[in-house]
Amino acid sequence: MISNSDAVERILISESQINEAVRSLAKKIDDYYAGRQSRLLLLGILKGSVVFMGDLMKQVRIPVEIDFMKVSSYGSGTTGGSVNIILDLLRKDLSETDILIVEDIIDSGKTLSYLVNYLKLKGAKSVRTCTLLDKPERREVDFTADWTCFVIPNEFVVGYGLDYDEKYRALPYIGVLKREIYS
Ligand code: PRP
Report CA(74)–ligand 1 centroid distance (Å).
11
> For residue 78, what pLDDT is reported?
47
Backbone phi, psi, residue 13, to 5°: -135, 120
**What's the rounded Cα separation, in Å, for the pair 49 and 101?**
10
- CB count in 10 Å sphere of residue 65: 12
What pLDDT was estimated at residue 76? 52
H/E stretch holding 118 reads helix 110-121
Query: What is the spatial distance between Cα 55 and Cα 53, in angstroms, rounded to a whole number?
Result: 5
Q: Are 101 and 127 in contact (CB under 8 A)?
A: yes
Could you tell me which residues are beta bridge partners of residue 8? 177
79 vs 116: which has the higher pLDDT: 116
> Residues 131-160: pLDDT tens digits?
999 999 999 999 999 999 999 999 999 999
Q: For this structure, is 30 an active site residue? A: no
Look at the alpha carbons of 85, 116, 133, 106 in this order and tell me if their dihedral is positive or negative. positive
| pLDDT tens profile 152-174 | 999 999 999 999 999 999 999 99
* Mutational test site, ligand 1, from 104, 141, 177, max ligand atoms within 8 Å of CB: 104
CA of 111 to the centre of ligand 1 (A): 7
Question: Residues 96, 65: contact at Cβ < 8 Å?
Answer: no
Q: Which residues contact 14 (CB under 8 A, 6 or more apart)?
A: 173
- Ligand 1 atom 13: the closest Cα is on which residue? 108
The active-site residue, picked from 107, 142, 163, 165, is 107
Q: How much is the pLDDT for 2?
A: 64
Note the pLDDT tens digit of each residue in 88-137: 999 889 999 999 999 999 999 999 999 999 999 999 999 999 999 999 99
